[in-house]
């Protein structure tokens, strides 16, 4: 699940043209946390999902969507 959230957050952030630094400012998390999250190294809480989603103008459920496989 961590990798799903991280990949979705990175995709949404990049689609909005938001840097990690701006996402960190908007969410209240450190930029290092954002980097670790995007690499699937952090397991965000429900509150964190809400704050992260708001930082990229998305819904928390958007961060939990399964990643489509190209297999």
Q: 43 versus 67: which is more confidently predicted?
A: 43
Place 70 in a pLDDT band, splitting at 50, 70 and 90: low
- Quote the pTM value: 0.90
- What residue spans of the chain are helical by DSSP H? 2-15, 20-27, 31-38, 46-55
- Check whether 71 has a pLDDT greater than 80: no
| The predicted structure's pLDDT at residue 25 | 97
Radius of gyration of the chain (CA): 11
Q: pLDDT tens for residues 9-58? A: 999 999 999 999 999 999 999 999 999 999 999 999 999 999 999 999 99
d(CA 23, CA 34): 8
């Amino acid at each position: 699940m961590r990798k799903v959230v991280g990949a979705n957050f990175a995709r949404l952030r990049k689609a909005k043209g938001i840097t990690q630094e701006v996402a960190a400012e908007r969410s209240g998390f450190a930029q290092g946390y954002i980097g670790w999250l995007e690499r699937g190294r952090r397991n965000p809480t429900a509150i964190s999902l809400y704050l992260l989603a708001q930082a990229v103008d998305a819904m928390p459920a958007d961060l939990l969507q399964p990643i489509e496989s190209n297999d």
